[in-house]
Every structure is written in C-alpha cells, then in structure tokens.
Amino acid sequence: MNSTDPMVIVGGGQCGARAAHALRENGWDGAIILLGDEGRLPYERPPLSKAVLLGERTAEQCEVYDDAFYRGQRIDLRAGAAAASIDRAAHKVVLADGACVAYHRLLIATGAQLRRLDVPGCELPGVHMLRSAADAQAIAGDLTPGRRIVVIGAGFIGLEIASSAVARGCEVVVLEAAPRALMRAVPEAVAQRLVDKHRSMGVDVRFSVAVERILGDARVTGVELADGATVPCEAIVAGIGVLPRIALAQAAGLDIADGGIAVDETLRTSDPFIYAAGDVSSFPHPLFARRIRLECWKNAEDQARIAARNMLGHAEPCSAVPWFWSDQYDMTIQIAGLPALGATTVARETGAASRVFFALDADGVLVGASGVGRTGEIAKDVRIAQELIARRARITPETLADRAVKLRSLLMEEMS
C-alpha cells in the first residue's frame, strides 16, 4: 500500500456517494473508486415508499448526483462492480469478476438487505419486498385502483407502503405479528395515533397475526393465517425489516457487533485502514454510552462526512443525535434520540392534531422525542429536543407537558 493508492468505497448507495464527494471536498486529490452492485447511479431510498409508489417521482429523480457530477469530481464510479472479498494483508478489494483494486483507505458502506419472508408461497408472482428502485417499480405496477393489497409488517416501511397504496385507490390490509405497530421505534401513544389514522383511511390493521402461507397458483391470491383464516388479495408487500450487509467484512475477519460492522467512535473498524458507515455500522454513541446501529437517511449523511474526514487523518467522533422521519398521508413522524431508552413518556400538545412525546430515562434525562402530526406543528419542537438531548438535559415532566413553556427557553437555560 502507498499513499498514491486510491480511496476505495464499497457500496454505491447514499452513504457511499456522499463519502466520495466528502473526500474530494476535504482535499483528497488522488483517485477515488466507488464500487456499486446495482448497475445504476447511487440513489436515495426514502422516496421509494412514498413519491415513487405514488407515481410522483421516478427512480432517476432520487439519484444522489447525476453522471456528470462523478466525472467532474473525478470519482471513478463503477456501478456494476460488486466487491467479492477484501485482502487485508495486500490492501486490496477483489471484485466479483476477479479484478483487484488496491486501496489507501477503504470504506465499507454496503447498507442493509431485506429480511426475507420465509413461508410457503413466498416466491409467487405478486409477492414483493421493498429495498431497491427496481422493487419500487415492480410494486408501483401492482398498485392499481380497486386491488386488494396485503402489507405484512406494521413497521415504518410497511405503514408507508399502506399509505401510498390507499392513495393509489387500493384496498389495504396490514398484518402484524406483534401486538402493536412500531414496537421498538416509538412509544405506544405515537404508534396508536398512526394506526388510528390508517384505520380512518379505511385500512384494515390487524395485530398478533401470524402468516402461515401465501396462497395462489400462477400468482398470489391470498394469505393464510396461523388460525386458519384467509385474507384474499391481488398482491402482497412484506416489510419485515432488514439485516446489515456484513458478509464481506465478516469474511475478511473484521469485528462484528450487534449484527453490524463494529467500528470505534471515529467509524474505524478493527482494521485501522478500513472504515464502515451508514446502515451497516455498529458504533459506540457517546451520549447513550452504548453501541447502536441506525437505519436512517440522516445517519448515512452524517457518517459519510465523518468517515471521509477520518480516512484523511482526522479523528472526529460520530456523536450526532439520531434523527429520523416518516411521511404517511398528511402526517409526518419525526424522531430524535432513542425514545426506546425512555422510562417515562410525556405528551405535549403542539397543535390540534399534533403531539410531541418526550422520553425521559430513569434519571430524568431527556433521551428521545417523537413528534406526530403536521410537519409545521412538530418539526421545531423535535429540532430543539434534539439539542436538549445532546446536552443531556433534565427537565421535569410537568414542564415538558406545559405548552405555555417554550422549549427554546429551556434550551437557553441549558446553554447559560
């Protein structure tokens, strides 16, 4: 290895593309190679379950940068070049076609892959899952007015798909194995508001139901549940979660933690020449004193920038407060911090149909905030909550619930 070798990024997704750009912005003048395996320009996934399914955007309109950008920045984007293995001793990535690419520093940004629905009939035409632009295009083709669509899984992706399918004129049934929606992500009150909204839009949401098999011959015709009941439908979309794509790292002997590639607070793996970022990285968050892995747009943005800087010799910690959003119907959900760590939930009314739920840990420290309602009625409070979480603010439940107390004034107090 020598310093004239390229910076190499495995994973031509949002995080990989942003990291390539950040390397250039931060002064790397040498070669940058971005390896992707989807055969297309890197793109952002959040619109896939929203605007793309609604027919408002094409997959091309979700691209992170256009073709000319990569050329202009001298980023060697190889969109159909899957990395097959990493030769850590020789500092080389071996591609699926056998070619080798030497690296000065390597970033693994391989994202996540779908958790597969493993029941009889899952291979039938009309059974879908959503991760890629190609998946979104196939699902959009099946969302024709009047059709009955079964969504398996009441997580964020499943609920967004349900909302898009309703907007396309479909009849929708959501089947969830757990007793409620969004079990790990948000407090029950937030999940309940969302489910109420779906039901008011005509969605049949069912909890504690197990899918036994998919029915159909040439194409899906329904779902059989564990209790023997059947749900007829013309198409199915399963949204049952993802698994980080760690196979490459694992085969190379890199440390793995909590299902992701283990990195330190600077996003460096157990090999000092290799970094990992985005959905695939498991990193120690200084604020929460624990290792976490995030599957969200903002984390891919933040970690891309930090990984690029640290590949260039900085030692910047990754300490941003997590932030996530979801859009369903006319509602937005915004989440800051880690609400799941809360011992107490406090509701604050921020508009006629909008609420922000704060999560306080056992010591009374603010660890999470989940807003649900109209964007303009929750976004500001969630943003300020993000800063209060970063400061480990202790605020009484009474103060948080009192609409007359401006959150900004609490932040000012913390800062003084």
Ligand X SMILES: Cc1cc2nc3c(=O)[nH]c(=O)nc-3n(C[C@H](O)[C@H](O)[C@H](O)COP(=O)(O)OP(=O)(O)OC[C@H]3O[C@@H](n4cnc5c(N)ncnc54)[C@H](O)[C@@H]3O)c2cc1C
Residues that bind ligand X (CB under 6 A): 10-16, 35-38, 45-46, 48-49, 82-83, 109-112, 130-131, 157, 245, 248, 278-279, 295-298, 300, 324-326
Between 101 and 233, name the residue whose CB sits nearer to ligand X.
101
Among 56, 34, 65, 59, CA closest to 45: 59
Among 289, 371, 291, 290, CA closest to 336: 371
In whole angstroms, the minimum distance from the beta carbon of 341 to ligand X comes to: 19
Helix (H) or strand (E) holding 92: strand 92-95
- At residue 37, the 3 state secondary structure works out as coil
**CB 223 within 8 Å of CB 126:** no
In whole angstroms, the minimum distance from the beta carbon of 111 to ligand X comes to: 2
Tokens 């990024």 belong to residue: 9
In whole angstroms, the minimum distance from the beta carbon of 134 to ligand X comes to: 11
In whole angstroms, the minimum distance from the beta carbon of 95 to ligand X comes to: 8
Distance (Å, whole) CA 143 – CA 170: 7
Between 332 and 350, name the residue whose CB sits nearer to ligand X.
332
In whole angstroms, the minimum distance from the beta carbon of 160 to ligand X comes to: 7
In whole angstroms, the minimum distance from the beta carbon of 112 to ligand X comes to: 6
- At residue 295, the 3 state secondary structure works out as coil
Helix (H) or strand (E) holding 151: strand 148-152
Distance (Å, whole) CA 340 – CA 359: 8
Between 296 and 393, name the residue whose CB sits nearer to ligand X.
296
Structure tokens belonging to residue 9:
């990024």
Between 131 and 148, name the residue whose CB sits nearer to ligand X.
131
- At residue 279, the 3 state secondary structure works out as helix
In whole angstroms, the minimum distance from the beta carbon of 56 to ligand X comes to: 15
Angle at 373 between CA 168 and CA 415, to 5 degrees: 140
Residue 94 sits at φ, ψ, to 5 deg, of: -100, 125
In whole angstroms, the minimum distance from the beta carbon of 404 to ligand X comes to: 32
In whole angstroms, the minimum distance from the beta carbon of 113 to ligand X comes to: 8
Between 81 and 407, name the residue whose CB sits nearer to ligand X.
81
- At residue 298, the 3 state secondary structure works out as helix
Between 106 and 400, name the residue whose CB sits nearer to ligand X.
106
Query: Per DSSP, which regions of 182-292 are E strands?
Result: 204-206, 211-216, 220-225, 230-232, 235-238, 242-244, 256-257, 260-262, 274-276, 281-285, 290-292
Judged by phi (left if over 0) then psi (alpha if -120 to 50, else beta), residue 408 lies in alpha
Helical spans, DSSP H, in 262-352: 297-311
Nearest residue to ligand X, by Cβ distance, number only: 13
Between 163 and 354, name the residue whose CB sits nearer to ligand X.
163
Between 59 and 233, name the residue whose CB sits nearer to ligand X.
59
Distance (Å, whole) CA 240 – CA 247: 20
In whole angstroms, the minimum distance from the beta carbon of 173 to ligand X comes to: 20
Helical spans, DSSP H, in 287-406: 297-311, 375-390, 397-401
Between 274 and 410, name the residue whose CB sits nearer to ligand X.
274
Between 6 and 278, name the residue whose CB sits nearer to ligand X.
278
